[in-house]
Structure 1
């Protein structure tokens, strides 16, 4: 059985496809899956038997309806037994229509939009299905076993391992002699960010209590890189700004070597969890029960304020704070996060 699965964005959502696909492939040796996604995300699916990333520049070469029609011809969609729309946006719907015209059977996820609205209206009075369950539904309709296997899901090549070793040697971190932890301070939406000032306070606590810890700071873009440079200056010689140091795939593989990751509700939270390491996450405008909790992580590692009747205020953290003071984040103190990190790191 040959399947074409489509998901273009966002990074965290695309990454969460991987555990579903890997679990299906390991249980069903007669299945082959191609994943259509943006070029910068295609590397997340490399190196796995019978899983082939298909990069497509839908913002350039295949932009617009005409571009998607050319993409459909390039893909030779009729070679597939099934087209699985794991995105449900305009682009994927156009490609699904092309697949249907070519006689390919199509299945789609359901985003549960009505249930999501009720979840926000009732302030997380119940839990939504995890997004991986949403992704698994079309595969279950095909009679495939989708029970998630445990991480890690990404298999490093010898070249990957050597590149990571070379980087760690260049910053004098090999051989490893003390705990390594990651911090991903940023998220796409501001209301999902704890705040640089809070991370500064946390780094001061780390330097004070555990000066031997090495901290890897994860983020991208010029603005974030500059902020992370300033954060590294608070723990000189022990904090490393990872911006631009490794490819996305190798940055993800490096996470597998960390003792823990601190993250916002962001792509890095999911990448770290899928790498199979402990993840401490900080939640503000959003809520783990909305279906985006990091996989295989205990509830006590998800830090949030349960005493505010205004949260969660949105599924994705895209709405402005109705209070204007970001209390959901501001009332989470560095000492509270530090205590959880110490419990996680020192128990590894």
Structure 2
């Protein structure tokens, strides 16, 4: 079996698809899996031993526009895939699936261009995103037996080993804080993060590490020499290796939730404001909990969050006070 997975969404979505890769190998052990994703998605999937090839779909540059889609589709058609699994619900992915001319093309029934699939998979809103994705392949083990799998490379591991030793972190309780998000309303207030960091810095047995991409270096996080700032300093798999070693990960509803869920050790504290658990993007790790304001009639206001609170009060985040979070951390 030559199987193609197409998923060009956000980093967290790509991470949540890794249990499907394992399931495919369980059902089709001799299969060769190709994965089409964004350049950033390709970074987080590197070193996965079950993926034969990763093809970068750069929809903003090399593969932009209609011509870019058709050129990539032409390349994929030559691969003679037996099955294509389109996990993204956008038209470009549906068209790309069709262009492969694979005899089996699977996609969600609610996807744009779903008529281009040979079989439509029910998009069950009640399921966790991992369970939705696993439903593309029948059989196998119970969903919870399939884990998120990430594979930091030797270089990333060596760098984190050296960093851990230099900072003497093996003898500390390490709390990793991820204050960023693509969407403003998904961000717990920076002033709240700063209050939490200030209190944690008073604890001799605790070391705080702040993580995020280069874009998040502009967030006004206030800290002293007792806190370590790694924003923009790691690769995605390097970040995964840092989260693997953390005792606690405090994060907004963003990709670090899902990256941290690849590991057993960290206890994940996920802050949910405009979004809700029922959307299916809670931590896949059972060593986790979601902090949210219950019974707030304006929640959810959208599936992704937005640039401002539609009601103007931002109670879904403002009412999750630093004191409530500190009670969970200390």
TM-score, length basis structure 1: 0.83
Q: Secondary structure at the match of 1:129?
A: coil
C-alpha displacement of 1:38: 0.8
Deviation digits for residues 76-107 of structure 1 (CA, Å, limit 9, x no counterpart): 455211011100212212212212xx343200
Measure, in 1, the Cα distance between the counterparts of 2:79 and 2:316. 50
Deviation digits for residues 202-254 of structure 1 (CA, Å, limit 9, x no counterpart): 1122123x2331111122234x21336x42xx2x2331221221111111122
Deviation digits for residues 9-36 of structure 1 (CA, Å, limit 9, x no counterpart): 1111111111222243256422332110
Question: For structure 1, which segment, 12-21 or 43-52, has the greater mean C-alpha deviation from structure 2 after superposition?
Answer: 43-52
> Which residue of the partner structure matches residue 200 of structure 2?
206
> Which residue of the partner structure matches residue 286 of structure 1?
275
Q: Does 1:153 align with 2:141?
A: no
Q: Secondary structure at the match of 1:139?
A: coil
Q: Secondary structure at the match of 2:177?
A: strand
TM-score, length basis structure 2: 0.87
> Which residue of the partner structure matches residue 92 of structure 1?
93
Measure, in 2, the Cα distance between the counterparts of 1:103 and 1:149. 30
Cα 1:320–1:273 shift into 2, 3 Å: same
- Aligned partner of 2:137 among 117, 136, 139: 139
Q: Does 1:252 align with 2:240?
A: yes
Q: Does 1:218 align with 2:211?
A: yes
Once the two structures are superposed, the pairs formed by residues 194-343 of structure 1 within 5 Å of their partners are 194-208=188-202, 210-222=203-215, 224-227=216-219, 230-231=221-222, 234=223, 236-276=224-264, 277-297=266-286, 301-318=289-306, 320-342=308-330
Cα 1:150–1:177 shift into 2, 3 Å: farther
> Which residue of the partner structure matches residue 81 of structure 1?
82
> Which residue of the partner structure matches residue 164 of structure 1?
160
Deviation digits for residues 135-188 of structure 1 (CA, Å, limit 9, x no counterpart): 122222xx555724364622334333212223445xx32462101111111211
Measure, in 1, the Cα distance between the counterparts of 2:227 and 2:208. 5
Cα pair 1:139 1:146 within 8 Å, conserved: no
Measure, in 2, the Cα distance between the counterparts of 1:5 and 1:146. 21
Measure, in 2, the Cα distance between the counterparts of 1:146 and 1:110. 23
Cα pair 2:90 2:111 within 8 Å, conserved: no
> Which residue of the partner structure matches residue 55 of structure 2?
54
Deviation digits for residues 257-279 of structure 1 (CA, Å, limit 9, x no counterpart): 11110011111111112233210
Question: For structure 1, which segment, 150-159 or 255-264, has the greater mean C-alpha deviation from structure 2 after superposition?
Answer: 150-159
Q: Secondary structure at the match of 2:136?
A: helix
Cα pair 1:181 1:261 within 8 Å, conserved: yes
Q: Does 1:179 align with 2:167?
A: no
- Aligned partner of 2:182 among 181, 188, 197: 188
Cα pair 1:225 1:241 within 8 Å, conserved: no
Q: Give aligned pairs, total.
A: 317
Cα pair 1:260 1:278 within 8 Å, conserved: yes
